[in-house]
Amino acid sequence: MPDDTKPLLSLTSTAESPLQPIRMVAHEIICDLFHFEIEAIAEDKIDARGMLNKPACLAVNHGDEATRYFHGIVSRFGVIEQKGHTDTLYHMVLVPQLAHADIRSDCRLFFNKTAEDIIKTILDETGVTKTAFRLYSQPPQRKVTTQYNETALDFVTRLMEEEGWYYFFEHASDGHTLVITNDNNGFTTIPEAVVRLGMGDMADTLTEHRKIEEFAEGKIALRDYDDESPSKNLKVEQSTILKHGGTAHRPVFHWPALTYDTSQAKERAKRRMEAAEAAVSLIGANGAMANLFAGGKYKFRDKDGTETVQVVREITHTAEDTSAQANNGTASYSNNFSAFPNTVPWREPMETPRPRMEGLHTAIVVGPAGEEIYTDDYGRIKIRFPWDWRSDATADSGNWARVVQPWAGDQWGAQFIPRVGTEVAVAFMDSDPDRPIVVGGLYNGNDKPIFPVGEKTKLGFRSRSTTGGGSDEFNEISVDDKKGNEVVFLHAQKDMTVEVEHDHKLTVENDRKVVITGNEDVTLKRGNQTTKLDQGNVSVTTTLGKITLEALDSITLKVGSSSIKLDQMGVTVKGMMVKVEGTVMTEVKGTMTTVTGTAMLTLKGGILMIN
């Protein structure tokens, strides 16, 4: 049993001089930091700076209740006024260790972690020494979770709201414990806490217990788009169980659902509806039981003696104890609080804003060691943001991002995969930090533009041979728009293949030059080949080697009415005059040879020999 000889308020701290508390206003609420303001008197001077971040505990010894402790760390300490020649009145504020998380801010990415994994990491870095996770279902693994210019408190609170979790604090003389839960069973039952409505100053008496009815959302609908399964219609709905009129007139639609999994989306819709229903189920009360705390369960006994379990959602304690300061000093304690029936599943509304990624961000493409192009089946790449300062430039530290293309369809369109190590500009779908999308590449001090300033009239595309290609190993399609010297340039670093399914037409208004340093093979599978020269000459020259013309049917050379025809029967030479001249010797030979002159035949030679 409590010792009635003790003062109502007492304080333990690391101060050099004992502090005697005379006033306290303490505020506690589910899913927020507690805040205890204390006024205390000390006979000797106290080093205010030395008090900061040190533990302290205020004890309330009230009536027949067990001693109630309010433990925290000192976040503010200072002098209010000097009382007399020796006493000094101080003001101090106690907050949880988690208050550090309300100051520290960061930018980082978590990959393939659950919300529990992430929150434990943040709490450990923040210096929260006592935590208890009372989870009644396992959280799903998240592919990526982004913290961007958020305080650690906003970040972990946002994750809890998305998962349907909430937190509160338990207090003891030697510390306070952060309790995180996702079910009403995780709330703490306050021993022997039974209150009733009545008059008087008894600790178990409530002077007011009121419930105001109000309507809430009638239906929650969530929808999202999954780029890996774009035909999937991810839409879920959850209607309220409250029997309030007009529910059909109060639907609420949320985009995006923040998940691609239908079962998870259904659970999120349910939690959002539970949050709306819990918000309109609150009970207001005034009382004097100091052992009540946010997240604590107590029993309420109505006039008929029926007991219902209720949970404190928010409470403000007010206490004053001047009994040790004056002969006529007084001691008093009271509270006002809100609560909800334990039969109502508690959820926090999703009020902590997600960071909105406005404008464009810059990032570096990353990949495994030795890889210059790293992508997946969807043409995505991994990127690392400069603000993700903990990461290194490896694939494990990168975030998968879709890449905007000029055109995209089912195995048609355009495809440019940014290379590892290059800089890209990044936007975010729906401004969601977890959904980056690459919208273009950027030159920088290391990666210079294709064409220098002196060639500013040029535009085009130049690739780089991979893997390990140098600056002189590339394919290029470029255009020079310099007036009078316009050029379209095409360069293939090795092979060039052109496929034409139907006609191919080429028109050259001036000269055309083709230089081939190897072989040229032209195969015409069917049809005709025609070369027509309207004016000018045709010259075919082989400096070394030979020229072979071969045909299955015939070959004809024709000038005017003269011709030479080669076919399978022989060679026919026609002309107004046919002259065969061998500078040294001419030989005409055949099994049968006929020489005929219809009008005249002349055979002439220095010596004429006829068999």
Instruction: Categorize the per-residue pLDDT at 215 as very low, low, confident or very high, splitting at 50, 70 and 90.
Output: confident
Q: What is the pLDDT of residue 324?
A: 76
SS (H, E, C) 151-195: EHHHHHHHHHHHHCCEEEEEEECCEEEEEEECCHHHCEEEEEEEE
Residue 440's alpha-carbon distances to 380, 425, 464, in angstroms, are: 13, 5, 17
Residue 1's alpha-carbon distances to 62, 63, 433, 439, 520, in angstroms, are: 11, 9, 55, 70, 107
Decide if pLDDT at 606 tops 90.
no
User: What is the C-alpha to C-alpha distance for residues 215 and 247, in angstroms, rounded to an integer?
Assistant: 8
How big is the chain by its Cα radius of gyration, in Å? 45
pLDDT tens per residue, range 4-30: 568 899 999 998 889 999 999 999 999
Residue 330's alpha-carbon distances to 19, 256, 262, 436, in angstroms, are: 18, 57, 61, 62
Among 211-225, 321-335, 379-393, 530-544, name the one with the lowest average pLDDT: 321-335
Give the whole-number percent of the chain exceeding pLDDT 70.
96
Q: Which residue has the tokens 């095409």?
A: 490
> What does CATH list as the number for 99-204+287-315+334-341?
3.55.50.10
Task: Specify the DSSP class assigned to residue 390.
Answer: T
The residue ranges of DSSP E strands in 493-585, in sequence order, are 554-559, 562-567, 570-574
Answer for the pair 261, 140: CB distance below 8 angstroms, yes or no. Answer: yes
User: What is the C-alpha to C-alpha distance for residues 131 and 165, in angstroms, rounded to an integer?
Assistant: 14
Do strands 55-60 and 68-83 pair parallel, antiparallel, or not at all (unpaired)?
Answer: antiparallel
Task: Specify the DSSP class assigned to residue 355.
Answer: P
Q: Is the dihedral of CA 186, 191, 195, 201 positive or negative?
A: negative
User: What is the C-alpha to C-alpha distance for residues 252 and 260, in angstroms, rounded to an integer?
Assistant: 19
Indicate the average pLDDT of the chain. Answer: 92
Decide if pLDDT at 326 tops 70.
no
Please give the order of strands across the beta sheet that includes 219-224: 234-239, 219-224, 251-254
Instruction: Categorize the per-residue pLDDT at 586 as very low, low, confident or very high, splitting at 50, 70 and 90.
Output: confident
Whether this prediction's pTM lies above 0.95 is answered by: no
Partner residues linked to 172 by β-bridges: 175
- The CATH number for 361-442, chosen from 1.10.3720.10, 2.40.50.230, 3.40.630.30, 3.40.50.300, is 2.40.50.230
User: What is the C-alpha to C-alpha distance for residues 84 and 344, in angstroms, rounded to an integer?
Assistant: 54
Q: What is the pLDDT of residue 242?
A: 87
User: What is the C-alpha to C-alpha distance for residues 13 and 476, in angstroms, rounded to an integer?
Assistant: 75
* Domain boundary assignment for the chain: 9-97, 99-204+287-315+334-341, 219-279, 361-442, 453-491
User: What is the C-alpha to C-alpha distance for residues 51 and 77, in angstroms, rounded to an integer?
Assistant: 7
pLDDT tens per residue, range 55-90: 999 999 977 778 999 999 999 999 998 877 778 999
Decide if pLDDT at 2 tops 70.
no
Decide if pLDDT at 1 tops 50.
no
Give the whole-number percent of the chain exceeding pLDDT 90.
74
Dmax (CA) for the chain in angstroms is 168
User: What is the C-alpha to C-alpha distance for residues 249 and 516, in angstroms, rounded to an integer?
Assistant: 78
Decide if pLDDT at 610 tops 70.
no
Answer for the pair 316, 288: CB distance below 8 angstroms, yes or no. Answer: no
Residue 17's alpha-carbon distances to 40, 44, 87, 91, 326, in angstroms, are: 11, 6, 11, 15, 20
Mean pLDDT to the nearest integer, 33-40: 97
User: What is the C-alpha to C-alpha distance for residues 376 and 379, in angstroms, rounded to an integer?
Assistant: 5
In terms of residues, how long is the chain? 611
Decide if pLDDT at 3 tops 80.
no
Q: Which CATH architecture has domain 9-97?
A: Roll (2.30)
